[in-house]
Amino acid sequence: MRMLHPFFLPASTIAWSTTQKFQVAIPLYRQAQSMSARGVKLERQTLANNLAPVTEQWIRPMVNLLQAHLLEQDVLHADGTRI
């Protein structure tokens, strides 16, 4: 498995955790429980420590670009649905 420096987990595990967290909305403690049920001891804090740099390096820039694009628009349509 390919490791991402300075992360502690393989890239595939970080990708899985990121998808679970941001696309499927599964909290880190439930991800850790899921891994434990499959025989993999992985603490929530370990997931958090590996997810934080991914968030800052990849997700934050995308959010910033989206925000800038939206703020350039004359009209925005939205509803009150909580995400």
Q: Dump pLDDT digits (tens) for 51-63.
A: 988 888 888 999 9
Give pTM, 2 decimals: 0.66
The arithmetic mean of pLDDT across residues 29-47, rounded, is: 92
* pLDDT averaged over every residue in the chain: 87
Domain range summary for the chain, segments of one domain joined by +: 11-71
Nearest to 5 by CA among 61, 53, 59: 53
- Do residues 5 and 39 lie in contact, with contact meaning Cβ atoms separated by under 8 Å? no
Handedness of CA 49, 50, 54, 55 (dihedral sign): negative
Q: Is residue 42 left, alpha or beta, with left meaning phi > 0 and alpha meaning psi from -120 to 50?
A: beta
| Residue entry with tokens 């509803």 | 79
